[in-house]
Amino acid sequence: MTSRHEQLNKLSAGLAGRQDSAPICRRVIGPCALVVLALAACSAGDDAAVGTGVVSVSTSDTAIPTIEPDDVSAAVVESSSANDELIANRPYDVFVPTRYDAAAPMPLVLLLHGYGASGDIQEAYFKFEPLAESRGFLYVHPDGTVDAGGRQFWNATDACCSIAGDVIDDAAYLMAIIEQVSTDYNVDSKAIFLAGHSNGGFMSFRMACQHADAIAGIASLAGATFAGTADCTPSEPVSVLQVHGTRDETIFYDGGSIVGVDYPSAPQTVESWVASNGCDTTPTITADALDLDGGIDGAESDVETFGGCEHGSEVELWTIGHGSHIPGVTADFSAGVIDFLLAHPKP
């Protein structure tokens, strides 16, 4: 039986990124991102500059006012102030593509890092920023909070990854980001998406479960949804892309547990969302495999698509044959993930 200590070491070895390596990663993007991951496993307002670049967002601490319950305008102020509180100490950057036009709604994508990594490290690995420019979407890759072991994490599902029992409402934090970006920019409310790796994948599923009315679609690499169906009751369909390697020794393709809490297999994760979205239970198997892992010769990944879902949603499973927890993702992987998301806005 694996002890708690051994499981923590395994998570650290499989997921965590050394934060002091981030500056190097920004200069040597691809190789460094893989090494770092492997070692572990400014409010813009109306005057926001438009164009290619990153806008830093940070809010000052704002006291939450006392209001009467029936005062609607005051309730709006309270909500805004609460959001300020959530993001005051957790600033984030917004990448704004050149084609952004304040008169035209634009999709928004959030990328969530793995346990022990960071938004910068995850971007260095997935390379979504060039796609934000070429495809045309607003892009944020925020950071989780730091646990007692000094590793950044998301308090996602019951299995992953508040290992020390930290009570952090990351779902509220991410919704605060979405609401703030939607205030500062013309965000297409029908095209808000999340993608994540490992712990970030688990967090993407939590957001889809709890905020299905706001999230159009998610993509998860080596993550999983809740094991208990009662813990995930989405209010409406959310398109889901699950990507997982069959030789992942950190978050097992066939399911497992983290510190005694179970998580479902990749197929079970997909099956639960097929049921929630009312999809056809028999998938369409893509004839040609995808080349998602540059470290494996040839096209190694099989694609199963579950169509016929409610509200035009869709569920897909991309199985990376012999893929590890940190596959050497190709440009086709990153482009494929973004293309899947952008193709599935809410109706």
Listed by start position, the domains of the chain span: 4-342
Residues 179-224: tens digit of each pLDDT: 999 999 999 999 999 999 999 999 999 999 999 999 999 999 999 9
Residues 50-74: tens digit of each pLDDT: 344 565 444 332 232 332 334 433 4
Residue 75 has pLDDT above 60, yes or no: no
Residue 305 has pLDDT above 70, yes or no: yes
Cα 339 from Cα 19, distance rounded (Å): 30
Predicted local confidence at residue 174, as pLDDT: 97
Cα 238 from Cα 243, distance rounded (Å): 16
Cα 9 from Cα 6, distance rounded (Å): 5
Residues 106-121: tens digit of each pLDDT: 999 999 999 999 999 9
| Domain 4-342 coded CATH 3.40.50.1820 | yes
CB 139 within 8 A of CB 132: yes
- The predicted model gives 36-40 an average pLDDT of 49
Residue 186 CA: distances (Å) to CA of 40, 55, 181: 37, 15, 8
Strand partners, 96: 53
Residue 36 has pLDDT above 70, yes or no: no
Record the tokens describing residue 93, joined without a space.
């950057």
- What's the chain's average pLDDT? 83
Predicted local confidence at residue 287, as pLDDT: 86
Higher pLDDT, 163 or 290: 290
Contacts of 186 (CB under 8 A, 6+ apart): 101, 102, 103, 104, 105, 106
Predicted local confidence at residue 88, as pLDDT: 76
CB 144 within 8 A of CB 120: no
Contacts of 297 (CB under 8 A, 6+ apart): none
- The predicted model gives 146-160 an average pLDDT of 94
Percent of the chain having pLDDT more than 90? 70
Helix axes 29-40, 119-126, angle to 10 degrees: 120
Count of H-run helices and E-run strands, the chain: 10, 14
Higher pLDDT, 152 or 43: 152
